Structure 1
Amino acid sequence: MKESIFRKSSIFAALGSIFLIIIFAILLFQDNKRVHTLVLVTGQKEGQYYAFGQALSKVVHNHNHRIKIEVIESNDPQENLELLQGKKAELALVQSDTIVNNSTKAIAFLFPEVFHLMVRQDAGINDISDIEGKRIALMSKGSGSYNMFWRLQEHYQLDVEQIKTIPLPITEAHQALEDGEVDGLFRVVSLENPAVIQLLRNPQIKIIPIDQGAALRLELPALEVMSIPKGSYHGASPTPAEDLPAVGVRAVLITNKKISREVIFEITRILYEARNELVQEFIQAAMIEQWDESPHLGFTFHPGALDYYNKGNPSFIVEYAEAIGLCLSVSMLLISSVWQLRSWFTGKQKNRADLYNLQLLKIIDSIQ
């Protein structure tokens, strides 16, 4: 009776082990075919963040069909951060002056965004202090551009009561300056932005320099001292007519620290290794910053991004973590099955020996 129960238990254990091995193999196969869908929150549809998001989504999918990036619009960087931290998005674009918590990790510092103060020629504005008493169009409230204007106002000690600011959506702000409904427009935007190029084709509109970059960095260390090169917006009749001092920030691609290390590695790899394709979709991608080990104020990098930056390849354990886990599980199951089978055969051999001994004793008794 005991032998029969033990034998059945051993068989069930072996069959169970084989069944689990098959299940693990199926799960691994399904995971290798799984499409990782990530939501990227960007900015207004007319803006450069949304355009970059669309370009990144297209290029990433072209190089890895297992990664799908869904691009959604938003009103401002703070909303982007809230959606990311609220786990309603896996990726987000923010400016480099954004304050983030420890759960938020950087993937890459992208293109520079330069402070642009564009004014009408007849407005009597030749430097930033002249905007007192003028009508200035700003981007929507809460946007990075909107917030940065007030940092400039504080630094230059401009009288708030003397400036008539008019927050507007991007397209409406540009049109208001074009039509003379405002005297100036302030926007933080990348160089050679198509909408800015179009605006500056109007000979009645010019760019005002923003100097004191080094002093501004003392108050806001995330700023970078930059310049707007001569002819950036028009070469034949150079616009601007000379290199203009400027300041700016950088766009940053961020994610949550819990997002798959392998997925973030792939996005980082494609971002840099497929740069030419990305530039064809979004010209400012040519200015994406090369990673270096120097500290990036307020940001730490996702382990998946660091795998690419440090070695160009994920570590063996990271790259083959799932396969290694399967092999270990299968190995343990096989060892368990072999041990059970060995115990069963040993028990069976012992039972046979006992049976032979009993038969031998019976023969001896019959002879006596």
Structure 2
Amino acid sequence: MSRTRLAALSILCALIGCAALVTFWYNRPTTVTIAVGPSGSEAARLIDGFRLALQRERSSVRLRLVSSDSPSDSAARLEREDVDFAIVRADISMPPSAMVVAVWQRNPVILSAPATAGIERWTDLGGKTIGVMGRGVGYNIRLIQTILREHGVQPSTVRMVEVLPWETADIFRKKQIEALVTVGPPSSKPVADALSGLVRETPDGKVILVPVREAEAVADRVAYLESMDVIAGSFGSNPPRPAENFPTLGVVHYLVARRGVDDAVASEFTQQLFTLRPALAAQHPAANRLEVPDTEKGSSVQVHPGALAYLTGEQKTFVEKYSDYLYLAIFGLSLGGSAVAAVLGYFGLGRRDKDPGHLPEVLMMLRQVRATDDNDVLDEIAHRADDIFVESIEASKRPDFDSSQFATLTLALDRLNASIADRRRTIAMMEDVEEEEQPPAPVAVTIARG
């Protein structure tokens, strides 16, 4: 193999290796961390199911769960950059570096009380004792205090007791509370259990769900509050509870990412989250609460650019993302290859003489034909010419066959055969002339004597 071909093969192998390395680097799984908790909660189980689904789908993004005690703990971990993603609540120290990927769930604040308690508006809570779902967290009580102040009720006039969902019935039976406030989706088990406990201990099960009629106005004044509608029949359909839709206030849990998370990673994470949501919902109904965040300009939340690219259909492909680098690489290789070829050509490196094949032998035999007067020599030359023609025909089957060289050789063989024929005729004519120029043989005369 010539040095030029060996060099070309080496360059080709190097390019293939580089392409394989780039492909491996681009498609390698990226592991990101997500803070979710507390351990065993509905959110933690859903995220763990999402982690397993990413592994099954061989996604380029993989998850590692980091357990946290509460949304505030998750927010603190994200702010310290201990994790890449987290589930946070809008009213609990939303980190400045957090950018929204998805709406995790909406948590309406629902005030419920027995019909006999005389609580029909939030302003009726002054002097009452209410149970607030959630113990040891504190932020639900702070949320209720904000809503009371917006209704003109001093929080100090309302006694609030933190209760767990399964304790509601017992606490109400002991008359330790007069009403109950839940914070969470009506379809979630803790909220459903807490309200069902209150209904069981209420005479005739007559429980009133108190709306917040000024919800939109309050939401305009308090940035982290949102106006939400509780759908009729959310807590049961026989009888429907509530009997009709009513407005209330609430807060939102967001799935957020650090600002420094790569756009491609955030885009793939968001795509897989919403693509796998139907399959996840079969085992984890909480997945049905996932929503696409508001992507309009001027919205109250800032969406991560990677998530926004997927949600708005502007997700870039590999070629679109690295097109500039690809063009520069192609240009550099072309320019570098031309420069190397010029240097090699200038110094004559890698150059080799072209194999002339049988052409020199045919030309030599052509000279021998002109110089010989022996027909036997011409016969030998003619036999050799036939052998060269047969060998050339056989060589035409090879992939490296040179058709232009074969055409030249054929022309030379034609000329050789013509010269052999001419030389045979010349030799024959010379033999005839020699015979004519020879003197006649002497005639013997016999004289008879007598």
Superposed displacement of residue 193, structure 1: 0.8
Distance 1:143 1:29 in 2: 50
Show CA shifts across 1:205-262 (max 9, x none).
6444333202311321443322222321212233334434312233222112322222
The question of whether the paired residues in 1 share the 8 Å contact of 2:76 and 2:95 is answered with no
The question of whether the paired residues in 2 share the 8 Å contact of 1:41 and 1:72 is answered with yes
Q: Please tell me the residue identity of whatever aligns with 1:196.
A: V
Distance 1:221 1:28 in 2: 46
Q: Please tell me the residue identity of whatever aligns with 2:131.
A: I
The question of whether the paired residues in 1 share the 8 Å contact of 2:43 and 2:286 is answered with no
Q: Does 1:175 align with 2:177?
A: no
Superposed displacement of residue 134, structure 1: 1.0
The equivalences for 1:257-296 within 5 A come to 257-290=259-292, 292-295=294-297
The residue number in structure 1 matching 2:142 is 147
The residue number in structure 2 matching 1:332 is 332
Distance 1:47 1:127 in 2: 32
Superposed displacement of residue 90, structure 1: 1.0
The question of whether the paired residues in 1 share the 8 Å contact of 2:230 and 2:246 is answered with yes
The question of whether the paired residues in 2 share the 8 Å contact of 1:191 and 1:284 is answered with no
Superposed displacement of residue 66, structure 1: 2.5
Q: Secondary structure at the match of 1:27?
A: helix
Q: Secondary structure at the match of 2:282?
A: helix
Distance 2:58 2:148 in 1: 46
Distance 1:319 1:186 in 2: 53
**Aligned pair in 2 of structure 1 residues 76, 100: CA closer, same or farther (>3 Å)?**
same
Show CA shifts across 1:75-111 (max 9, x none).
3333222212222111112234566566332112343
The question of whether the paired residues in 1 share the 8 Å contact of 2:87 and 2:254 is answered with yes
Q: Does 1:160 align with 2:165?
A: no
The question of whether the paired residues in 1 share the 8 Å contact of 2:183 and 2:191 is answered with no
Show CA shifts across 1:326-362 (max 9, x none).
674476356435523431331347xxxxxxxxxxxxx
* Match 1:230 to one of 203, 220, 232: 232
Superposed displacement of residue 14, structure 1: 9.9
* Match 1:209 to one of 211, 219, 222: 211
The residue number in structure 1 matching 2:185 is 190
**Aligned pair in 2 of structure 1 residues 162, 32: CA closer, same or farther (>3 Å)?**
same
* Match 1:114 to one of 105, 108, 119: 108
Q: Does 1:342 align with 2:342?
A: yes
**Aligned pair in 2 of structure 1 residues 86, 94: CA closer, same or farther (>3 Å)?**
same
Q: Does 1:256 align with 2:258?
A: yes
Q: Secondary structure at the match of 1:84?
A: helix
The residue number in structure 2 matching 1:34 is 28
The question of whether the paired residues in 2 share the 8 Å contact of 1:174 and 1:185 is answered with no
CA-atom RMSD in angstroms: 3.8
Superposed displacement of residue 114, structure 1: 0.9
The residue number in structure 1 matching 2:315 is 314
**Aligned pair in 2 of structure 1 residues 103, 162: CA closer, same or farther (>3 Å)?**
closer
Q: Secondary structure at the match of 1:192?
A: coil
**Aligned pair in 2 of structure 1 residues 117, 144: CA closer, same or farther (>3 Å)?**
same
TM-score by length of 2: 0.62
**Aligned pair in 2 of structure 1 residues 28, 122: CA closer, same or farther (>3 Å)?**
farther
* Match 2:83 to one of 65, 78, 89: 89
The question of whether the paired residues in 2 share the 8 Å contact of 1:114 and 1:189 is answered with yes
Q: Please tell me the residue identity of whatever aligns with 2:34.
A: L
Q: Please tell me the residue identity of whatever aligns with 2:166.
A: Q
Distance 2:132 2:96 in 1: 35
The residue number in structure 2 matching 1:77 is 71
Distance 1:55 1:247 in 2: 31
The question of whether the paired residues in 2 share the 8 Å contact of 1:275 and 1:285 is answered with yes
Distance 2:182 2:165 in 1: 10
Aligned length in residues: 334
TM-score by length of 1: 0.74
The question of whether the paired residues in 1 share the 8 Å contact of 2:212 and 2:247 is answered with yes
Distance 1:150 1:256 in 2: 30
Q: What's the % identity of the aligned pairs? A: 18
Q: Secondary structure at the match of 1:201?
A: helix
Which residues of structure 1 form unaligned runs of 5+?
1-12, 350-368
Distance 1:287 1:224 in 2: 16
Q: Secondary structure at the match of 1:179?
A: helix
Distance 2:13 2:280 in 1: 46
Q: Secondary structure at the match of 1:277?
A: helix
**Aligned pair in 2 of structure 1 residues 310, 151: CA closer, same or farther (>3 Å)?**
same
Which residues of structure 2 form unaligned runs of 5+?
1-6, 350-450
Show CA shifts across 1:280-303 (max 9, x none).
233344344345543464422222
State the structure with more CA Rg. 2
Q: Secondary structure at the match of 1:105?
A: strand
**Aligned pair in 2 of structure 1 residues 295, 314: CA closer, same or farther (>3 Å)?**
closer
Q: Does 1:104 align with 2:105?
A: no
Distance 1:157 1:76 in 2: 30
The question of whether the paired residues in 1 share the 8 Å contact of 2:132 and 2:140 is answered with no
Q: Secondary structure at the match of 2:332?
A: helix
